[in-house]
């Protein structure tokens, strides 16, 4: 199933954490990384003082169920020293499941499409690099980006996946 994951990091070697997360995802027998967005620098979200983030979105194919994928994502975050100490706080790596095909679900531990997807330009702008459809939840990505009101907080970097 075509799936989109958002990645973010603002602690230590942020680019290294993004690359390691992608490598670990791609090493999983049931996940194939198909495409990667440009790497963006973004202002932190929320009220916690912290460094800027490096953000990206990747497109993967997987036959895992949403909860199986969530388990894999959480294991990768833990292996990359992710600690959940402060809501919207700094992190070595954050991996969010944004979309899984046309699936819609709302459980206590997982909501797909991601409940904040249309409000966050740091997700929408990199998603635009790899998204294969014209519309998301009834609007174009450009419409959602314009409505988010925070597109100016997202800047393309000179960082590379190479």
For residue 38, the domain's CATH number is 3.30.70.560
CB 70 within 8 A of CB 13: no
Lookup result for tokens 């020293």? 81
pTM comes to 0.93
Evaluate if residue 24 carries a pLDDT over 80. yes
Tell me what pLDDT residue 70 has: 97
40 within 8 A of 156, measured Cβ to Cβ: yes
Structure confidence at residue 43 (pLDDT): 86
Q: How many domains does the chain have?
A: 1
Is 161 contained in some domain? no
Is 59 considered catalytic here? no
Q: Burial-class residue 101 by CB neighbours within 10 Å (0-12, 13-18, 19+).
A: exposed
Query: What is the domain range of residue 150?
Result: 2-156
For residue 47, pLDDT over 80 is answered with no
pLDDT at 18: 97
Does residue 162 lie in a domain region?
A: no
* Active-site residue, selected from the candidate residues 43, 51, 94, 109: 94
Active-site residue, selected from the candidate residues 47, 59, 82, 155: 82
What are the two backbone dihedrals, phi and then psi, of residue 97, each rounded to the nearest 5 degrees? -80, 115
């Amino acid at each position: 199933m075509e799936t989109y994951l958002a990645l973010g990091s603002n602690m230590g070697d942020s680019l290294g954490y993004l690359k390691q997360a992608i490598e670990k995802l791609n090493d999983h027998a049931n996940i194939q990384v198909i495409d990667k967005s440009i790497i963006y620098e973004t202002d932190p979200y929320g009220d916690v003082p912290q460094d800027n983030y490096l953000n990206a979105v990747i497109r993967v194919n997987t036959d895992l169920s949403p909860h199986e994928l969530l388990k894999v994502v959480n294991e990768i975050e833990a292996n990359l020293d992710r600690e959940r100490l402060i809501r919207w706080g700094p992190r070595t790596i954050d991996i969010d499941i944004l979309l899984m095909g046309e699936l819609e679900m709302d459980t206590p531990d997982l909501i797909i499409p991601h409940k904040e997807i249309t409000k966050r330009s740091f997700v929408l702008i990199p998603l635009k690099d790899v998204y294969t459809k014209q519309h998301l939840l009834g609007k174009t990505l450009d419409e959602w980006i314009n409505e988010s009101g925070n597109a100016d907080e997202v800047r393309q970097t000179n960082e590379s996946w190479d």
